[in-house]
Amino acid sequence: MTAPARRTVVFNAALALFGIGLVAVVAIFVMSMAGVHAPWLWAVSMAFPIGLMLAVWDTVRNRRS
């Protein structure tokens, strides 16, 4: 049986960015349905793919070593 993987600082940051971006994407849709527009949310929503890419990169990097 293998030992559980340790979470790195990069992975934790990636999860935080992913969560913030996901909340921003949901907020964009909810606010659009309400007729309210917040252009700054589009910039915040970019945390969603950045967090995903960082998490995948860190996972692959840690599995190789």
- pTM equals 0.83
Q: How far apart are CA 31 and CA 49, in angstroms?
A: 21
- Domain of 48, in residue numbers: 9-64
Residue 50 lies in a domain: yes
User: How does residue 53 score in pLDDT terms, banded at 50, 70 and 90?
Assistant: very high
Q: What's residue 33's pLDDT?
A: 94
Residue 43's Cβ-side half-sphere holds a number of Cα atoms within 13 Å equal to: 3
pLDDT for res 27: 95
First to last CA, the chain: 18
Dump pLDDT digits (tens) for 1-51. 566 667 899 999 999 999 999 999 999 999 999 999 889 999 999 999 999
Q: Is residue 1 part of a domain?
A: no
Contact 44, 21 (CB under 8 A): yes
In a domain, 32, yes or no: yes
Flag whether 4 is in a domain.
Answer: no
Q: Is residue 34 part of a domain?
A: yes
Number of domains in the chain: 1
Indicate if the alpha-carbon torsion angle 20, 10, 51, 5 is positive or negative. negative
